[in-house]
């Protein structure tokens, strides 16, 4: 004799489990694997002015010389290399999309920026002139700073045209932000009305940050070396799914908040030598966040 009752029970448990599993996969798209970013395909209208921060790398048309050019505000620096100790550094300035560089030893460089590309001519190098082209390289940079009234500390990581940021006050205010860098404009958004808009100017970033609806502050941040940056840990603390963020300033000052469900508490101290921290007696590791990482679920 076969009974169907237990099978129906078993089946309904399975169906309910599958429903919950699917609902979870749909609702909480977790930190998706950062998709391999394709080269920025900006071929539209050419930029009328140079970006305020950019690194270009390229070669002369005959492949004899490699060129690296850093644009930093109105200043430009370049490095020419033809191998065999024939390396030259040049300095110059940007005017609109045109730039001119010179060196003490003679070689010069002129060119113009067109979108993601740079075209120009190297003159007087090894007794020759070389036409060259270079493309904007993806550069990771960290900007850290505070709101003007020191209400929040923020760290923004830019990775080419992508940006991720974390803002917090170390206690109750915190937000993750995701966005992009377009020219010198930075624009990020997060959950619950959080946002950051700013502009890059020289080595600085100025703008307005909104931690949550109605909680906006003007801020300034500056290009910062490591250990400055955004750090994150997603851990289970005694079974409680917990997300911790830290904004770390270049001097090692750090502010962080741990969020477990609706509970927020100050983050434990992050050991910046190995990114480890201790919580409730257990040891964990945090990871530095790059601009291309997904920190806000889409």
Residues that bind another protein (CB under 8 A): 1-7, 9-10, 12-13, 16-17, 20-21, 23-25, 27-28, 30, 234-236, 238-243, 260-263, 282
Question: How far is C-alpha 169 from the chain's CA centre?
Answer: 20
**Cα–Cα distance for residue pair 184/207, rounded to 1 Å:** 12
CB of 274 to another protein, least distance (A): 19
Nearer to another protein, 16 or 139 (CB): 16
CB of 164 to another protein, least distance (A): 18
CB of 212 to another protein, least distance (A): 18
CB of 243 to another protein, least distance (A): 7
CB of 25 to another protein, least distance (A): 8
CB of 209 to another protein, least distance (A): 24
Nearer to another protein, 251 or 280 (CB): 280
Nearer to another protein, 65 or 295 (CB): 295
The CA–CA distances, whole Å, from 19 to 15, 16, 23 equal 6, 5, 6
Nearer to another protein, 34 or 68 (CB): 34
Task: Assign 3-class secondary structure to 179-243.
Answer: EEEECCEEEEECHHHCEEEEEEECCEEEEEEECCCCCEEEEEEEECCCCCEEEEEEEEECCEEEE
Minimal CA–CA distance to 227: which of 261, 253, 188?
A: 253
Nearer to another protein, 38 or 262 (CB): 262
**Cα–Cα distance for residue pair 221/2, rounded to 1 Å:** 72
Nearer to another protein, 7 or 269 (CB): 7
Nearer to another protein, 134 or 233 (CB): 233
CB of 6 to another protein, least distance (A): 4
CB of 16 to another protein, least distance (A): 5
């Amino acid at each position: 004799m076969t009974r169907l009752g237990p099978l129906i029970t078993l089946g309904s448990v399975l169906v309910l489990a599958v429903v919950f599993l699917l609902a979870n996969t749909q609702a909480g798209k977790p930190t998706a694997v950062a998709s391999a970013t394709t080269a920025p395909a900006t071929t539209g209208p050419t930029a009328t002015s140079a970006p305020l921060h950019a690194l270009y790398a390229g070669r002369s048309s005959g492949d004899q010389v490699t060129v690296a050019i850093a644009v930093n505000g109105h200043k430009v620096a370049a490095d020419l290399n033809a191998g065999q100790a024939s390396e030259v550094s040049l300095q110059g300035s940007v005017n609109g999309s045109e730039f001119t560089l010179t060196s003490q030893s003679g070689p010069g460089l002129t060119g113009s920026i067109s979108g993601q590309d740079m075209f120009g001519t190297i003159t007087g190098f090894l007794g020759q002139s070389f036409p060259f082209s270079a493309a904007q390289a993806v550069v990771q940079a960290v900007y850290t700073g505070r709101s003007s009234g020191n209400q929040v500390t923020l760290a923004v990581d830019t990775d080419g045209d992508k940006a991720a940021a974390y803002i917090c006050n170390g206690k109750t205010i915190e937000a993750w932000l995701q966005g992009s860098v377009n020219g010198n404009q930075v624009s990020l958004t997060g959950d619950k009305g959080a946002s950051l808009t700013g502009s890059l100017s020289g080595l600085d970033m100025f703008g307005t940050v909104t931690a949550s609806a109605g909680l906006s502050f003007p801020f300034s941040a500056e290009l910062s070396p490591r250990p400055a940056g955004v750090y994150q840990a997603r851990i289970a603390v005694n079974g409680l799914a917990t997300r911790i963020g830290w904004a770390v300033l270049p001097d090692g000052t750090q502010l962080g908040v741990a969020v477990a469900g609706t509970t927020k508490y100050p983050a434990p101290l992050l050991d910046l030598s190995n990114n480890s921290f201790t919580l409730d007696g257990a040891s964990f590791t945090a990871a530095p966040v790059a601009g291309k990482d997904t920190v806000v679920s889409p």
